[in-house]
Amino acid sequence: MLIYKIFRAPEWAALEAAGESLGAPVDLADGFIHFSTAAQVAETARRHFAGEEGLVLAAVETARLPVPVTWEKSRGGADFPHLYAPLPRAAVVWARPLPLVGGAHVFPDELA
């Protein structure tokens, strides 16, 4: 199963350099890495990354993670995938820029 993580450019660069990531500051503060499903990721971008440029969208294969994701209630009572371990670069299937056009992020066709 693919889940999605939005990275700011420095966070993505750090993952690429180190080969793994503990996530963004919010992830570190919460003690887990926040992910979204395909159906959730656009709203995540709107709520938490509004107006931000230079973002990277990463598709992560859950079968490649060192531990299973934990599904926990979050926004609106929906279950969101959380990872209680470092994210290895090897679990990322693809990563693409998430351009900001006219104030909205443009997602790849398969997520639009």
Does pLDDT of 28 surpass 80? yes
> How far, in Å, are 75, 84, 92 from residue 95 at the CA level?
25, 21, 7
pLDDT tens across 48-103, in order? 999 999 999 999 999 999 999 999 998 789 999 999 999 999 999 999 999 999 99
Which pTM does this prediction carry? 0.95
CATH superfamily ID and name for 2-95: Protein of unknown function DUF952 (3.20.170.20)
Cβ neighbours of 47 (radius 10 Å): 9
Q: 77-90 burial string, b = 16+ CB within 10 Å, else e?
A: eeebbbbeebbbbe
Domain ranges of the chain: 2-95
